[in-house]
Amino acid sequence: MQAWGLILNQPIIKEATIVNVKFGDSVTVVNPVNLYGCAIGSNVFVGPFVEIQKDVNIGERSKIQSHSFICELVDIGKDCFIGHGVMFINDTFVKGGPARGDKSLWKQTKIGNNVSIGSNATILPVTICDNVVIGAGSVVTKDIKAPGVYVGNPAKFIKKLSD
């Protein structure tokens, strides 16, 4: 029970932080962020309210926009754009629910070079080749093996990229 101005139970409060991150040259990070145990290449931009977990690699000249979540086991190539609110998933609930700490059930995601992912897309554990555009709000559920534009839920090829 709580009376106005009186807190009966004290919450545990943790601050956004940057811990054990390997940064390349000329990286820009806009706080608040949670970055830990990851590697961020040169000339990368990371917007506010982003979380990048351990063992993630972000390639040179990539941009990660605000409110995106990049979980463990994700590799993002060079010259990529990750739009606002993009969510990466590594736990596919193979046993009907969360892995609950059993990381052996998690799966990897590999994003190639020159990939643009639109705002609010969700990326399940997949491999995406170079030179791909993922439309805003799309859900990528399967590997993408050919360059082009993909949209929808589930994301489907709609056209080749123009030269």
CA distances (Å), origin 136, targets 86, 151, 155 = 9, 7, 10
67 is an active site residue = yes
Exposure string of 121-155, with b = 16+ CB inside 10 Å and e = fewer, is: bbbbbbebbebbbbbebbbbeeebeebebbbeeeb
Active-site residue (options: 54, 63, 67, 110):
67
Q: What are the backbone dihedrals phi and psi of residue 104, each rounded to the nearest 5 degrees, phi first?
A: -65, -20
Enter the tokens of residue 86.
Answer: 């993009």
DSSP state of 160: P
CA distances (Å), origin 161, targets 5, 48, 114, 134, 158 = 58, 30, 12, 11, 10
Active site residues: 67
